[in-house]
Amino acid sequence: KGIGVVETGTPFARSFYEKHGFRCVGVDRCMVLELVGRAISLPEGVRVRTLMLDDIGSLIELMGEDEWLRFSRAFFSAYEDDPEKAIMVTSKEGTTLGVAVGENDRTYGELVTLTYMFVGREGDAMKVLDSMAYLASSRGHRWLGVRLPLEGTSQEELEGRGWEDAKLPSFWTRYRMRKEI
């Protein structure tokens, strides 16, 4: 007796595994936006600032308790290493549109990955994401990476804005392959 299933995740060898009896049981899609050579500007009508500890209380009311717990894990992880990658995006009038938290990839210092994003309204997701792209670009990073699904956006919308499938050695779209043995 033992385990009768083998599962692996691979970005590049899907056809090899399929030839050997594996089947794809899921896709963990990652996408990157190349920031170099692209005009990246702050979305019109928004302001971006670093999230401060003083902001946390007001976010509980905005997010609700369960969402705030997810946010706090990402925020405090970033707060230790790079607090400037935790941002609040507001309208010019001061209404909070959303928050985003990113972190530097440990293998590729030029890659910032989005670890958390919350938007108050679905229509504001791209403003928050574009604000994080602006921050990453202004700090000299080459790529911004996201894992899908990402609330308020779709793969098609991201592709239409220049995002591509991630193929970096430490950040890539994985095909979960399984074989019964």
Q: What is the pLDDT of residues 18-35, one digit of tens each?
A: 999 999 999 999 999 999
Least confident of 41-50, 75-84, 95-104: 75-84
Name, in order, each residue with C-beta under 8 angstroms of 75's C-beta and a sequence gap of 6 or more: 51, 56, 86, 101, 116
Amino acid (1-letter code) at residue 62: L
**How many Å apart are CA 93 and CA 53, to the nearest integer?**
22
State the pTM of this model. 0.86
Q: Are 7 and 178 in contact (CB under 8 A)?
A: yes
Token representation of residue 181: 């043995």
Residue 108 C-alpha from the chain's centroid: 15
d(CA 96, CA 133): 18
In this model, does residue 6 exceed pLDDT 90?
no
Question: What pLDDT, in 10s, does the model give residues 83-133?
Answer: 889 999 999 999 999 999 999 998 888 999 999 999 988 799 999 999 999
Q: Three-class SS string for 94-148? A: CCEEEEEEEEECCCCCCEEEEEEEEECCHHHHHHHHHHHHHHHHHCCCCEEEEEC
More confident of the two residues 11 and 132: 132
Range 94-113 burial, b when 16+ CB lie within 10 A, else e: eebbbbbbbbbbeebeebbb
pLDDT, tens digit, for every residue of 155-166? 999 999 999 999
The partner residues of 177 in beta bridges, in order of sequence, read 8, 24
> Which domains, from first to last, does the chain contain?
28-172 (3.40.630.30)
- When the pLDDT of each residue in the chain is averaged and rounded to a whole number, the result is 91
In this prediction, residue 148 carries a pLDDT of 97
pLDDT of residue 117: 96
Strands 174-180, 5-10: pairing is antiparallel
What percent of the chain shows pLDDT beyond 70? 99
At 59 the pLDDT is 87
